[in-house]
Amino acid sequence: MKQKINKLINQNDYATKKDLKNLETGLKKEIKSSEKRLEDRFDSKLAKRLTDSQNAFRIEMRHEFSVMKDDILAGMSKFTNLILTAIDPLIKDLETRKQDECR
CB 23 within 8 A of CB 5: yes
Answer yes or no: are the C-beta atoms of 27 and 1 closer than 8 Å: yes
- Residue 18 structural domain: 2-102
Overall domain count for the chain: 1
The pTM assigned to this predicted structure is 0.50
Looking at the chain, the whole-number percentage of residues with pLDDT higher than 90 is 38
Average pLDDT, the chain: 87
Would you call 5 exposed, middle or buried from its count of C-beta atoms within 10 A (0-12, 13-18, 19+)?
Answer: middle
Does the pLDDT value for residue 22 go beyond 90?
no
